[in-house]
């Protein structure tokens, strides 16, 4: 092979090597850029989740106060005599009977968070603690749902029993909250209604269990939030 041929082959090999290297470099850049975009997206989603879990904790606290308030009304009502019940201040009468049937959880953003987690399918392999915390948080929701079903059943029973009292039916039909006031005689009759009081006692017991679940759920939410903060800081 002449020196000219050798030079030509070397030039072809160099050109081929340059093309291969440029292709590999392009692949590497594309892979790097995809990773950058994925990380940016992950950080964006984590930021939204951070805000949602902050709200989640606030809503749990609201629900804990909500359940506690009902419990306090019911505990006082249960230990009252019918005579004491007839002397409940008018502005507290409706809140007292309302506590017998109200469900235990009023507001929640759990479904929104779950929907977001499922739609985003977050790549959390590099954040195993966050992945585990989210899994434990989701596991607690089934317990909350079970409690909600039980409380909904209690609500229907309570409304049916209370509905036998004409004064209660009248007050429930009113659209203006401030007008919902029961007479002392009506409160006496409700306190003497053994079926209503049995439902009220059951509600106190169910509410106590519900509070335990809510507080445990709050702890799981806090754990998720801590690991979200760590993931955001690492990103």
- Lowest mean pLDDT of 62-71, 95-104, 168-177, name the range: 168-177
The pLDDT assigned to 119 comes to: 81
> Could you give the CA distance from residue 2 to residue 46 in angstroms, rounded to a whole number?
65
pTM of the model: 0.79
> How much is the average pLDDT of 194-203?
95
13 burial class (0-12, 13-18, 19+ CB within 10 angstroms)? exposed
Q: How confident is the model at residue 120 (pLDDT cuts 50, 70, 90)?
A: confident
The pLDDT assigned to 13 comes to: 67
Q: How confident is the model at residue 36 (pLDDT cuts 50, 70, 90)?
A: low
- Enumerate the domain spans of the chain: 43-234
* pLDDT tens sequence across 213-228: 999 999 999 999 999 9
């Amino acid at each position: 092979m002449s020196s000219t041929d050798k030079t030509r082959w070397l030039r072809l090999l160099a050109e081929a090597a340059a093309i291969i290297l440029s292709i590999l470099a392009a692949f590497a850049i594309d892979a790097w850029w995809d990773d950058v975009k994925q990380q940016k997206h992950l950080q964006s989603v984590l930021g939204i989740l951070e805000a949602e879990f902050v709200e989640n904790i606030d809503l749990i606290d609201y629900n804990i106060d909500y359940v506690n308030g009902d419990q306090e009304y019911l505990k006082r009502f249960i230990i009252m005599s019918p005579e004491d019940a007839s002397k409940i201040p008018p502005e507290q009468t409706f809140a007292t009977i309302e506590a017998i049937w109200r469900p235990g959880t009023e507001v929640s953003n759990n479904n929104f968070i779950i929907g977001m987690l499922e739609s985003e399918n977050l790549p959390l392999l590099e954040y195993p603690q966050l992945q585990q915390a989210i899994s434990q948080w989701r596991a607690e929701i089934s317990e909350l749902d079970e409690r909600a079903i039980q409380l909904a059943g209690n609500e229907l029973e309570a409304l049916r029993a209370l509905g036998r009292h004409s004064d209660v039916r009248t007050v429930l039909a009113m659209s203006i909250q401030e007008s919902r006031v029961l007479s002392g005689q009506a409160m006496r009759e409700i306190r003497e209604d053994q079926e209503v009081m049995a439902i009220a006692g059951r509600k106190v017991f169910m509410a106590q269990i519900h509070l335990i679940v809510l507080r445990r759920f709050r702890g799981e939410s806090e754990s998720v939030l801590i690991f979200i903060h760590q993931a955001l800081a690492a990103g």
